[in-house]
Amino acid sequence: MVQDIFTPLVGNLNQMGFYKFVLPWLFTLALTYGILLKVKLFGAEQQKSLVAIISIVAAFFVVNYTPAGFAMDSFFTQVFGVGVLILTGIFVVLLLMGLVGMKGEDIFKAENIKSGGGLAVILLIAFITFLFFTVGGVNISSDQLSLIAVMIFMVVALAFIAK
């Protein structure tokens, strides 16, 4: 049987503070550095060195900042985890729309919203709502979920009839 080498690796990185310090620090450093370079607040001659110093200091302050009951590592884990799930949902919707011959950039055009692009928007909204209720920590009972599904079905049926 093949032994999993990634579980101990991730555990060791976690114990060393890689997720609590290194990754939030690097992310903040890169983001601050990129934004400050883009807006060009300082003279062109000393721009990069001054921006680098400010970015390093800001990154250390952000990593040190931890409001009560809140840790930067759990925040970034949650944000990027949910973000990847949403991007995956968008990708799946684009794949499904590609199966019926639509290009990604054509989905939101006015003439395509009526013919099939609206389905993409509905699927995307449904996927994001699903993520909100499952990953977002909102507890909903199966009875409430059934009631919501029936109401959505009724609205779709009424919209189809009114067309």
CB neighbourhood size of 97 (10 A): 20
Contact call for residues 126 and 148 (beta carbons, < 8 A): no
CA dihedral 153, 154, 155, 157 (to 10 degrees): 90
DSSP secondary-structure letter at 106? G
Question: Which residues of the chain have a pLDDT value below 70?
Answer: 1-3, 45-46, 66-70, 102-121, 123-124, 131-140, 145, 160, 163
Predicted confidence at residue 104, as pLDDT, reads 64
Decide: 59 and 29 in contact? Cβ < 8 Å: yes
Tell me, what's the pLDDT at 76?
77
pLDDT at 98: 76
3-state helix, strand, coil in the chain (%, to 5): 80, 0, 20
Render pLDDT for 66-100 as a digit per residue (tens, 0 to 9).
Answer: 665 567 777 777 778 777 877 787 787 778 777 77
